């Protein structure tokens, strides 16, 4: 095994109406250094107190679900991706686990196989597919098949407003309705279709309009994320294309013309000084092993 490091990008999922389907890789990373074989799995990390250091670590659990007799190793994880903020930290751990099994057991998995395995574990492809393929990915996970289409996201500034509290995805999913009327589903789907078409032709003004017309999840989740709507109004006033929840939240992403970034960053910072406001880029590479 020549590989000693695995690096996985953060991801934002949904982009508004691309719920459980669309995602974008971002320039924050989980990096895993693979050490020698040991008698038990040891995971040293800076990822937060709640993250296990042994075989119950999500990355190791994922690797063992693929290769149950994988020999234990010493691992070091460095996380730039904040946990439970909607920036794909769990998906990054799952993708790191798939890659760990791949390199340690010489599986030679294709990207398609990695996406299928990781989507099955995560339940939907919107975070894991861009974490594997990089850039912008539109995916569908069906009962017996997975489909992913990768495309270049249009050039723009991206600001992540990361509030100083966590929100578990399970809580943000529990608040969603169980059913939707047929006419509403048709309308919600047409909004998502126009979003994708607009992104494919680099029309961020139209894509931004569609992002903010989401009917699948944001209006329900706004109850848990009270900063979403005021931030949307503020960002719009400062010239942004759009604001959307990053994944299940609570992080909010703002897409804007690059010339607006300084003023926007200052306004978001002044909106809530306890939050972090990070300027991010689209990451073109998915999981890297070197």
**Can you give the binding site for ligand HSE, defined by CB under 6 A?**
13-14, 19-20, 124, 126-127, 169, 172-173, 217, 247-248
Structure tokens at 158: 């991206």
C-beta of 93: minimal distance to ligand HSE in Å?
A: 13
3-state secondary structure of 139: strand
C-beta of 104: minimal distance to ligand HSE in Å?
A: 27
Give the whole-angstrom CA distance, residue 151 versus residue 200.
Answer: 8
CB-nearer residue toward ligand HSE: 13 or 231: 13
CB-nearer residue toward ligand HSE: 20 or 283: 20
User: For the stretch 44-56, what's the b/e string if a residue is b when 16 or more beta carbons lie within 10 angstroms of its beta carbon?
Assistant: ebebeeebeeeee
CB-nearer residue toward ligand HSE: 247 or 286: 247
Among 191, 118, 208, 109, CA closest to 154: 208
C-beta of 266: minimal distance to ligand HSE in Å?
A: 29
C-beta of 117: minimal distance to ligand HSE in Å?
A: 17
Q: How far from 171 is each of 175, 176, 220, 266, 286, CA to CA, in Å? A: 7, 9, 12, 31, 28
φ, ψ dihedrals at 122, nearest 5°? -75, -30
C-beta of 217: minimal distance to ligand HSE in Å?
A: 6
Using the structure block, give the residue that is written with the tokens 């050490």.
Answer: 35
CB-nearer residue toward ligand HSE: 3 or 180: 180
Using the structure block, give the residue that is written with the tokens 């751990």.
Answer: 93
C-beta of 273: minimal distance to ligand HSE in Å?
A: 27
Give the whole-angstrom CA distance, residue 57 versus residue 92.
Answer: 12
CB-nearer residue toward ligand HSE: 86 or 260: 86
CB-nearer residue toward ligand HSE: 39 or 170: 170
**Neighbour tally for 254: CB within 10 Å:** 30
Structure tokens at 215: 């009917």
């Amino acid at each position: 095994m020549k590989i000693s490091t695995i690096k996985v990008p953060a991801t934002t999922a949904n982009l508004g109406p691309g719920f459980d389907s669309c995602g974008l890789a971002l320039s924050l990373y989980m990096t895993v250094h693979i050490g020698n074989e040991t008698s038990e799995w040891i995971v040293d990390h800076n990822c937060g107190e709640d993250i296990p250091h042994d075989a119950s670590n999500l990355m190791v659990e994922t690797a063992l679900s693929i290769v149950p007799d994988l020999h234990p190793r010493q691992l070091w994880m460095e996380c730039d991706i904040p946990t439970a903020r909607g920036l794909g930290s769990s998906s990054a751990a799952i993708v790191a686990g798939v890659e760990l099994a791949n390199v340690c057991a010489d599986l030679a998995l294709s990207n398609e196989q990695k996406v299928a395995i990781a989507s099955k574990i995560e339940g939907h492809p919107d975070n894991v597919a861009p974490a594997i393929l990089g850039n912008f990915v539109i995916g569908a996970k069906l009962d017996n098949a997975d489909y992913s289409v990768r495309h270049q996201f249009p050039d723009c500034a991206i600001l992540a407003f990361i509030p100083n509290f966590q929100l578990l995805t399970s809580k943000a999913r529990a608040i969603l309705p169980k059913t939707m009327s047929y006419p509403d589903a048709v309308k919600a789907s047409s909004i998502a279709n126009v979003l994708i078409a607009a992104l494919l032709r680099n029309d961020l003004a139209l894509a931004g309009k569609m992002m903010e017309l989401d009917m699948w999840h944001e209006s329900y989740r706004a109850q848990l994320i009270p900063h979403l709507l005021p931030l949307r109004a503020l960002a719009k006033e400062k010239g942004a294309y759009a604001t959307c929840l990053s994944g299940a939240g609570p992080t909010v992403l703002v897409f804007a013309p690059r010339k607006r970034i300084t003023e926007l960053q200052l306004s978001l910072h002044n909106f809530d000084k306890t939050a972090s406001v990070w300027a991010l880029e689209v990451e073109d590479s998915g999981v890297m092993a070197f």
